[in-house]
Amino acid sequence: MKLSKNLVPGFLREISEDSDVCISSRIRFARNLENHLFLLKASLKEQEEIIEEVKEVITQLNHFQFYSDDKLNEIFLNYLLERYLVSPDFVLSKNKKGVFIDSEEKISIMINEEDHLRLQVLGGGFSLDEVFVKINEVDDKLEKELPYAFSEKFGFLTACPTNLGTGMRVSVMLHLPGLILTNEMEKVIKTTQNIGFLIRGIYGEGTKTIGSYFQIANQFTIGMKEEEILANTKNLIREVINYERKARDYLLKNLKNEIEDRIWRAYGILTHAKLLTSEEAINLLSTLRLGICLKIIKKISLLTINILTILVKRANLMYYLKNENLTEEERDYKRAALIRKVLKGKGEEEDI
């Protein structure tokens, strides 16, 4: 079965030379309006006014779809969260909120998350430079029309002091199974934290990570120019990408049989299982991804893995199947069926 590319956000369709390790790149700017109280103090009425004011400006910039409270039910919010278009805090927030999303699903602007505005631009692979250009374009356009809260000393004024100054968070999603399997991940985490960067698993709570996916981001936002923050974060990420590649080389040289066995077992389960939870599916697809990068699996593309990794998540699966009322067991069954259909025979041939 062939899956349409359009099932996933634009940035997950872009496969580039660093996509073997770096899944996607993201930059977000936190901005607030001078003429309104921050969300800690803004009444629901004021929160509505903020949405109206921002809406007036953003709807002039074309190709944005706007979703507000009436459309943002629990499942739709999680659908957007699973696609990285809104944040976990946005989903949980009791504020009057809204989100603008561009037609390609690469730009999103959250209104009334922790700050009045959270602009975010996403790109495929390791593409922070392009993402940086793009987010500045959007930010500059908005800045001409909206009275951003700004001070010479503290820069862009944000609700939380951890975002002060540039309000900029640069991050990437990395796939690091090599570092996990060679027991090097602990070291990478400690070093990253010691030099002032944030690192955490993408899925799962605390130290329990699923699928060897990690996010690395800058911790500090003030005292440096945006370009410096970008360059420093990029340097670190480049190091981690290279380290992961070295770990994979090591595995191929020293543990080839074990790695091959692990990958084909994952393929075996994915193509034959009748029930799969999203966690198990994401884990197995992660192993399959490693197999593709190590050229052990040759007929499945990284794009297919990207699409499946989104589609197997709870809300996205229900949206894809156009049935929001599936029980957990029904979802596990349908999830396994979908994966089987897409991957069956793919040991042999490729059609995506």
Would you list the DSSP string of 201-254? ESSSSTT--STTEEEEEE---SSS-HHHHHHHHHHHHHHHHHHHHHHHHHHHHH
Q: According to the binding rule CB under 8 A, does residue 168 interact with another protein?
A: yes
Work out which of 12, 30, 157, 270 binds another protein, going by CB under 8 A.
157
Q: According to the binding rule CB under 8 A, does residue 58 interact with another protein?
A: no
Minimum gap (Å) between residue 53 Cβ and another protein: 11
Going by their DSSP bridges, the two strands 117-124 and 155-156 should be labelled as: unpaired
Q: According to the binding rule CB under 8 A, does residue 147 interact with another protein?
A: yes
Work out which of 57, 154, 298, 324 binds another protein, going by CB under 8 A.
154
Q: According to the binding rule CB under 8 A, does residue 198 interact with another protein?
A: no
Q: According to the binding rule CB under 8 A, does residue 152 interact with another protein?
A: yes
Q: Which is nearer to another protein, 37 or 352 (CB)?
A: 37
**One symbol per residue from 299 to 338: x for binding another protein (CB under 8 A), - otherwise; what is it?**
----------------------------------------
Number of residues that bind another protein (CB under 8 A): 45
Q: According to the binding rule CB under 8 A, does residue 144 interact with another protein?
A: yes
CA dist., res. 327 & res. 48, Å (int): 35
Minimum gap (Å) between residue 114 Cβ and another protein: 8
| Neighbour tally for 265: CB within 10 Å | 12
- Residue 286, token pair as written in the block: 């992660």
Q: Which is nearer to another protein, 97 or 248 (CB)?
A: 97
Q: Which is nearer to another protein, 200 or 246 (CB)?
A: 200
Minimum gap (Å) between residue 196 Cβ and another protein: 4
| Neighbour tally for 213: CB within 10 Å | 21
CA dist., res. 145 & res. 279, Å (int): 44
Report the sign of the C-alpha dihedral through residues 232, 233, 237, 240, in that order. positive
* Nearest residue to 271 (alpha-carbon basis) of 297, 290, 293, 248: 297
Q: Binding segment for another protein among 11-19, 91-99, 165-173, 202-210 (CB under 8 A)?
A: 165-173
Q: According to the binding rule CB under 8 A, does residue 135 interact with another protein?
A: no
Q: According to the binding rule CB under 8 A, does residue 43 interact with another protein?
A: no
Cβ atoms of 253 and 312 within 8 Å: the answer is no
Work out which of 41, 94, 208, 322 binds another protein, going by CB under 8 A.
41
Q: Which is nearer to another protein, 124 or 165 (CB)?
A: 165
CA dist., res. 55 & res. 146, Å (int): 11
Q: What are the two backbone dihedrals, phi and then psi, of residue 20, each rounded to the nearest 5 degrees?
A: -65, -25
Minimum gap (Å) between residue 154 Cβ and another protein: 5
Q: According to the binding rule CB under 8 A, does residue 94 interact with another protein?
A: no
- Interacting residues with another protein between 211 and 270 (CB under 8 A): 220-226, 228
Q: According to the binding rule CB under 8 A, does residue 151 interact with another protein?
A: yes
Work out which of 62, 194, 207, 257 binds another protein, going by CB under 8 A.
194
DSSP 85: S
Work out which of 49, 143, 260, 279 binds another protein, going by CB under 8 A.
143
- Residue 134, token pair as written in the block: 């793009």
Alpha helices in 59-214 (DSSP H): 74-82, 88-92, 128-145, 177-181, 185-194
CA dist., res. 171 & res. 338, Å (int): 31
Going by their DSSP bridges, the two strands 213-218 and 197-201 should be labelled as: antiparallel
Minimum gap (Å) between residue 222 Cβ and another protein: 5
Work out which of 161, 239, 298, 324 binds another protein, going by CB under 8 A.
161
Work out which of 1, 5, 6, 35 binds another protein, going by CB under 8 A.
35
CA dist., res. 12 & res. 1, Å (int): 19
Tell me if residue 297 falls in helix, strand or coil: coil
What residues make contact with another protein under the rule CB under 8 A?
32, 34-38, 40-41, 114, 136, 139, 143-144, 146-162, 164-166, 168, 194-196, 220-226, 228
